[in-house]
């Protein structure tokens, strides 16, 4: 039994991780009647992998984050809304043919302008995929069934999938494709294509927002303050050492402190929680290490979109976000962040920079003074869904549930959650329904 001691702080619940899932989980626990909740994170800030880097007068993001004014996150933290910066973002992609066009598919550039011969090839590949039935086992099977192998390659989607995960599309699990590539199915039918062409564009139902100029730490500090007023405490910048359970209580050793609780919610990487508990971790659950390159620029950038995806057949970078489109130029210069899967450049920042410079030069982008201001390397950026990873993650989550731990979120659920909206909705569903398996 965990000994009663004045030195052992006791809480109704403890949340591991102060990212979006952790903050929302804390809010829900307090709503459910917890009087005192402790949030523990090895980061010294709230917000998890919502990270910004301030370099001189520039502020860059690690990743690309767009929020909306109708996000369910704001139901938990309404004070965040006035802090966001309203923006009008646009998305584009660099194709294998060296042009920048609509993201993710352009009916004009990918279909109409392809010409009769290419139309025949695209249609033939779609018919071939539909008429020769086969079991869909991976992302390539899923995509080629709906748009055909020809358009999958021509659009550059196949190349993007490869660099996003660092593995070929045929090694990306079908369950991920069905969940995260559903837009392909929605856009692939003739009925939907005609409807899109004939229907006038619908006005947006919400406002697009970016984090405040001051950065993510400034934003999520307000969420932290709300939770503290409601009874939460935060232990940030503290390394977790181990978790043990005796009877119906958990004891967590963090830094030079030991704390206890009856309910434990984890939003940190799934394998990390297993190891803290002394449970054999799934070695096959891999995540992406993301290198972010931070550039300033003066000259002709060669495209108008705020966010540009690399669908070409070369270049290791996968996406860039022009922050100066949202916040204005700094000292007369544009500034932007480039995301690179570290596996594509051997984990070498210098190689990532060299590869990016050479690739954009070949495609006529960023003609002028392009200066690297800095970089950031982030481990556990998002999960890699290789074969049966979803099932292995579900098994690991079930083992933790049997131990008494509710493991949720992008990290804790080994679930690719691309937006704060998605993370909020899934945290609410997991904690309010009691369903703690992978979503």
Is there a contact between 318 and 310 (Cβ–Cβ < 8 Å)? Answer: yes
Answer yes or no: is pLDDT of 197 > 70.
Answer: no
Cα 413 to Cα 391: distance, rounded to the nearest angstrom: 11
Answer yes or no: is pLDDT of 218 > 80.
Answer: yes
Model confidence band, residue 96 (pLDDT cutoffs 50, 70, 90): very high
Which residue is listed with tokens 């096959």? 284
Longest dimension (CA), the chain: 80
Strand 232-236 versus strand 37-41 pairing type: parallel
Which residue is listed with tokens 């002709």? 300
The whole-number average pLDDT for the span 88-112 is: 91
The whole-number average pLDDT for the span 200-211 is: 83
- The CATH T-level fold of domain 9-50+71-80+213-285+386-433 is FAD/NAD(P)-binding domain (3.50.50)
Cα 365 to Cα 410: distance, rounded to the nearest angstrom: 34
Structure confidence at residue 186 (pLDDT): 66
Residue 341 tokens read as 């899967």
Per domain, the residue ranges of the chain are 9-50+71-80+213-285+386-433, 105-198
Answer yes or no: is pLDDT of 433 > 70.
Answer: no
Nearest to 310 by CA among 259, 246, 244, 355: 355
Question: Taking the alpha carbons of 214, 217, 223, 224 in that order, is the dihedral positive or negative?
Answer: negative
């Amino acid at each position: 039994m965990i000994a009663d001691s004045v030195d052992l702080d006791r809480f109704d619940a403890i949340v591991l991780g102060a990212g979006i899932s952790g903050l929302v989980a804390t809010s829900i626990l307090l709503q459910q009647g917890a009087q005192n909740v402790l949030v523990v994170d090895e980061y010294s800030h709230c917000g998890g992998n919502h990270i910004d880097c301030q370099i001189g007068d520039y502020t860059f993001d690690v990743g690309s984050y767009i929020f909306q004014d109708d996000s369910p996150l704001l139901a938990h933290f309404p004070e965040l809304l006035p802090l966001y910066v309203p923006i009008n973002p646009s998305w584009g992609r660099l194709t294998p043919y060296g042009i920048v066009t609509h993201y993710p598919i352009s009916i004009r550039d990918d279909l109409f302008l392809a010409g009769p011969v290419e139309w025949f090839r695209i249609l033939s590949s779609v018919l071939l995929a539909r008429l020769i039935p086969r079991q869909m086992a991976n992302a390539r099977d899923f995509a080629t069934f709906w748009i055909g192998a020809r358009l999958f390659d021509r659009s550059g989607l196949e190349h993007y999938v490869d660099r996003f995960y660092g593995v070929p599309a045929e090694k990306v699990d079908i369950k991920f494709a069905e969940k995260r590539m559903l837009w392909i199915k929605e856009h692939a039918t003739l009925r939907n294509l005609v409807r899109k062409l004939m229907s006038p564009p619908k006005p947006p139902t919400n406002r697009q927002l970016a984090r405040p100029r001051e950065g993510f730490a400034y934003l999520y500090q307000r969420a932290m303050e709300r939770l503290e007023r409601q009874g939460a405490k935060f232990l940030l910048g503290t390394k977790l050492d181990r978790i043990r359970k005796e009877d119906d209580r958990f004891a967590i050793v963090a830094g030079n402190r030991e704390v206890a609780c009856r309910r434990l919610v984890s939003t940190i990487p799934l394998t990390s929680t297993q190891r803290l508990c002394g449970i054999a971790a799934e070695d096959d659950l891999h995540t992406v290490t993301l290198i972010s390159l931070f550039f300033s620029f003066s000259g002709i950038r060669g495209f108008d979109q705020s966010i540009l995806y690399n669908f070409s057949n070369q270049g290791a970078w996968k996406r860039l976000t022009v922050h100066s489109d949202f916040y204005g130029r700094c000292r007369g210069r544009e500034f932007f962040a480039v995301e690179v899967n570290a596996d594509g450049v051997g984990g070498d920042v210098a190689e990532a920079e060299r590869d990016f410079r050479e690739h954009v030069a070949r495609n006529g982008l960023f003609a002028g003074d392009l200066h690297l201001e800095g970089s950031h390397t982030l481990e556990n950026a998002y999960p890699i869904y290789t074969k049966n990873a979803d099932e292995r993650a579900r098994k690991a989550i079930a083992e933790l549930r049997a131990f008494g731990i509710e493991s949720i979120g992008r990290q804790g659920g080994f679930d690719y959650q691309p937006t704060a909206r998605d993370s909020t909705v899934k945290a609410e569903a997991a904690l309010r329904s009691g369903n703690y398996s992978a979503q």
